[in-house]
Amino acid sequence: MLLVTAGSRGDVEPFVALARAARRAGHTVRVAAPDNSGVAADGIDLVSLGVDYSHLIQAQGVSVRAAIANYRGAVKPAMRKVIVEPARIALDFRPDVVVAHPKVLSAPLIAATLDIPHVLVEMVPAVTPTRAFAAAGTVTADLGPLNRLTYRAASGAAALFRRDLREAAGLLGTRVPRRPAPPAATLLPISPALLPRPDDWPPSVHLTGPWHDTAPASARLPTEIAAFVEAGPFAYAGFGSMAAGDPRERARAVVDAARRAGHRLLMATGLGGLAVADDLRGEDLLVVDMVPHDLVLPRAVAAIHHGGIGTVQAALRAGTVSIVVPFIADQPFWGALLHRRALGPAAIPARRLTADRLDDALAAAPRYAAAVAEVAARMPHDRGTDAALEVIAGS
């Protein structure tokens, strides 16, 4: 199996979890991924796509404006690597199946050239049209019959990178077709306990449940974090790779709100989404780069985060209420979905984050605990990587 992904940690971690499961099942697996994702890939045959999304995020931040401003200098060269390098890797590896992130626009070309199946991994519901909801990353409102139209944005991406697709096709000794062949199957590593499967999805689309590595029973938190966690109730805050706006003012709002609510606070700064000024430091605040969600979130009274699907599902699995502060892309979709399903307070857009709004959300969080606990009780029934491997093997 050749697994190819693109993006930051949240895009790489599920693919590495799938690779581990595939190896345990006896498959030969190679993962092609960006550099410096922060994901531990010990024992995995991991090759580089030659692009570093963490560096891009730290250099330009995460916003539509930044992406447009840096399109020619950063975004387009990165996408060229994501499109062309998988063709080189596939020719060397000669897989029996290619399993790819939607950004890997060359995956259908690779599959056609090598006469193998292509399995699409739809990390968030933004590719397969449905009447049930608008594509993640477009609007959060229900447009009814017009919901299906919002999925056209994904299908138009190939036109922006036609030259790169031609380069990949040249390496493969083929030509770019007018329309790429559809995938043999589509996998969404999302729990049906969170997102019920739409009735109008075709049978080839599968909600498998999340792909994640469970921390071994012997896993232990770093000493400093363990001491803080064991000292009593606390709230967690972390915005992952969301380097945008003023991280110091954002951190000040989070710390102020937690203190008003009487919560100690464990804060993960990630790639720059939060930055704590010296005058905010205190015994009730622990600031670290990152934390293992599986070991921390089950102990938190609430999780304040950006609403990436990985963190959303980690918090639900832990039975912890999420307070979503969305920045871009699919994050508003998950924040709205959690609130609509009474699984969390209304999302607070990052640009509107204040201590007052966050204080109100923290006060409301206990009202959602019972509903979150019900979802958490259903998520262990998700088969995740096992279900994905069954689909891949049968494709």
Report helix, strand and coil shares of the chain as percent, to nearest 5: 45, 10, 45
- pLDDT of 213: 85
Half-sphere exposure of 373 (CA within 13 A, CB side): 7
What lies within 8 Å, CB to CB, of 146 at 6+ separation is none
Distances from the Cα of 210 to the Cαs of 122, 240, 314, 317, in angstroms?
12, 18, 9, 10
- pLDDT of 40: 86
- pLDDT of 153: 77
- pLDDT of 22: 97
Three-state SS for 141?
Answer: coil
Three-state SS for 81?
Answer: helix
- pLDDT of 380: 93
Phi, psi of 139 (to 5 degrees): -130, 160
Position 22: which residue type? A
The rounded distance, in Å, linking the Cα atoms of 382 and 380 is 5
Instruction: Give pLDDT tens digits along the chain (395 positions).
Output: 999 999 888 899 999 999 999 999 999 999 999 998 888 888 999 999 999 877 776 655 555 565 555 656 677 888 999 999 999 999 999 999 999 999 999 999 999 999 999 999 999 999 999 999 999 999 999 999 999 999 987 777 778 899 999 999 999 999 999 888 899 999 999 999 999 999 999 999 999 999 998 766 667 899 999 999 999 999 999 998 787 788 999 999 999 999 999 999 999 998 778 999 999 999 999 999 999 999 999 999 999 999 999 999 999 999 999 999 999 889 999 999 999 999 999 999 999 999 999 999 999 999 999 999 999 999 999 999 999 999 999 98
